[in-house]
């Protein structure tokens, strides 16, 4: 099946610093990747959709200057949380779809971000 | 845009009993409906999905039914086991953007 990895699996940082999270499709070409955040005991909330080689499309209410998304290749997308604050602490999950997988999203294992 | 409602939010069943989780959606053009299982701290895992040209799909103890007219779909788990305990999310794929709109989740607890 389609495998998606995410790195790091957890990160702790100080307030005001930036954190980069990588999402990789390991065995397929991901034409589209999605970034979600999930607070404890809540559902997945879509932050943005990124297509390879083009700018990400952000959901309403998500600050594009704070959550920088880059999808430079068909196997890698990155999310950078800039000037992180404690309220940015959350579980960030990426998913990917690709050629032949246009409907199904395959999820990465998630990154738990804690901002002190 | 699409809106998905999911019920119940929590569900406790005895081991061996059946569990049913229901979702409704608003966009009649949506045509793909996946169900995901998420264990604490883990990634959501696809357990079954259904497309709008099918009314029912079954995979061993798991089945999904879709009523396009009423715009609702349900997950059925038979012969539940303790390892079925998790949070289950339904989703509907937005017909225009291919994004998933997730339900709010159902926390299933199977009591041994």
Short-list A68, A30, A31, CA closest to A48 = A68
The span from the CA of B112 to the CA of B96, in Å, is 44
CA distance A44 to chain B (A): 7
Contact in structure between A4 and A95 (CB atoms under 8 Å):
yes
Does the CA dihedral A3-B102-A31-A23 come out positive or negative?
A: negative
Number of helices (H), then strands (E), belonging to chain B: the values are 0, 11
Does the CA dihedral B92-B96-B98-B100 come out positive or negative?
A: negative
- Calculate the alpha carbon distances from B94 to A64, B25, B65, B103, B107 in Å: 22, 10, 19, 13, 24
Nearest neighbour of A43 by CB, restricted to B97, B98, B102: B102
What average pLDDT does this structure show over A22-42?
A: 92
User: Does residue A99 register a pLDDT over 70?
Assistant: no
User: Does residue A102 register a pLDDT over 70?
Assistant: no
The span from the CA of A28 to the CA of B76, in Å, is 31
Using one digit for the tens of pLDDT, what is the confidence trace for A47-82?
999 988 888 999 999 999 999 999 888 899 999 999
Residue B12 — very low, low, confident or very high, per pLDDT cuts 50/70/90? very high
Judged by CB atoms closer than 8 Å, whether chains meet at B46 and A32 is answered as no
Residue B107 — very low, low, confident or very high, per pLDDT cuts 50/70/90? very high
Residue A97 in tokens: 């779809």
CA distance B88 to chain A (A): 10
Number of helices (H), then strands (E), belonging to chain A: the values are 0, 11
CA distance B102 to chain A (A): 7
What average pLDDT does this structure show over A71-99?
A: 93
């Amino acid at each position: 099946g389609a495998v998606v990895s995410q790195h790091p699996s957890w990160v702790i940082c100080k307030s005001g610093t930036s954190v980069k999270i990588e999402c990789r499709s390991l065995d397929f070409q991901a034409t589209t990747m999605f970034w979600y955040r999930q607070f404890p005991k809540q559902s997945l909330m879509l932050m943005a959709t990124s297509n390879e080689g083009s700018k990400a499309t952000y959901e309403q209410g998500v600050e594009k200057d704070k959550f920088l998304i880059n999808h430079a290749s068909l196997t890698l997308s990155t999310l950078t949380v800039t000037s992180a604050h404690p309220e940015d602490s959350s579980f960030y999950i990426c998913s990917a779809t690709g050629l032949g997988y246009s409907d199904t999203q395959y999820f990465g294992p998630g990154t738990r971000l804690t901002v002190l | 845009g699409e809106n998905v409602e999911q019920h119940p939010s929590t569900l406790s069943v005895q081991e061996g009993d059946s569990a049913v989780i229901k979702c409704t959606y608003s966009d009649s053009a949506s045509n793909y409906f996946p169900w995901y299982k998420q264990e604490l701290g883990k990634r959501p895992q696809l357990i079954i999905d259904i497309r709008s040209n099918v009314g029912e799909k079954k995979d061993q103890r798991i089945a999904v039914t879709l009523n396009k007219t009423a715009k609702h779909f349900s997950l059925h788990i038979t012969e539940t086991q303790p390892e079925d305990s998790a949070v289950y999310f339904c989703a509907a794929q937005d017909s225009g953007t291919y994004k998933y709109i997730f339900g709010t989740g159902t926390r299933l607890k199977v009591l041994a």
